[in-house]
Amino acid sequence: MITVLRPTEADEQLSTAGLKCPACAGALAPWGYARSRSVRGRDGNLKLRPRRARCRDCRTTHVLLPATLLPRRTATVEVIGAALLAKVTGASHHSIAADLDLPADTVRGWIRSATAHASWLYARGTITAHRFDPELPPILPTGTALGDAIAALGIAAAAAKRRLGRPVTPWEFITQFTGGHLLTPLARAS
């Protein structure tokens, strides 16, 4: 799986062998599409079918997943991010689930997963923020591990937006920084 900020640009790069394989750095070529899926967005369900690519050298296939999505999740990163932000501000998973019209177990799972590797997310956010803006002051603690992680990732997204000027949401930048591992436990987020 490769996270892409702009799927149309990635599709164009595939046609010109401009995307490289993360396994061997060989050129990727178009290789059809992944299965169609329905994903819950802030404004209702979205249908999409991500592009697949195959390495010309090692023959490995990859799904080019838009940065609006996380792997194996049925909600967009905007919905998941809203749940995490609500938790950081003190809401319970029950009230978050009710506000988002989602099962409470789903929201509790997202919160537990992000909290389980909050130190990795914090480190990733801090490193990325200072890569985009070396003049940033230290990122101050918020009082919780998840709060610290979300704050660092938000600061990194703001620094990337200032530097790159790309018209993407902060959560799309965060998906890119984390390689889609916002909710993946640290053992799997290498």
Burial of 140 (0-12, 13-18, 19+ CB in 10 A): exposed
Is the pLDDT reported for residue 6 higher than 60?
yes
Is the predicted pLDDT of residue 4 greater than 80, yes or no? yes
Task: Give the residue-averaged pLDDT of 161-175.
Answer: 93
Condensed to tens digits (0 to 9), the pLDDT of residues 41-57 reads 998 899 999 999 999 99
- pLDDT category at 38 given cuts 50, 70, 90 is very high
- pLDDT at position 117 over 90: yes
The arrangement of strands across the sheet holding 28-33 comes to 2-4, 61-66, 51-55, 28-33
> Averaged over 142-150, what is the pLDDT?
97
Decide if 183 contacts 113 (C-beta within 8 A).
yes
pLDDT at 189 over 80: no
Let me know: does 77 contact 174? Beta carbons within 8 Å: yes
Question: How many C-beta atoms surround the C-beta of residue 16 within 10 A?
Answer: 8
User: pLDDT tens-digit profile of 54-71?
Assistant: 999 999 999 999 999 999
Hey, which residues does 170 pair with through a beta bridge?
A: none
Backbone angles phi, psi at 73, to 5 degrees: -120, 145
What percent of the chain shows pLDDT beyond 70?
97
- Is the pLDDT confidence value at 28 over 70? yes
DSSP letter at 27?
B
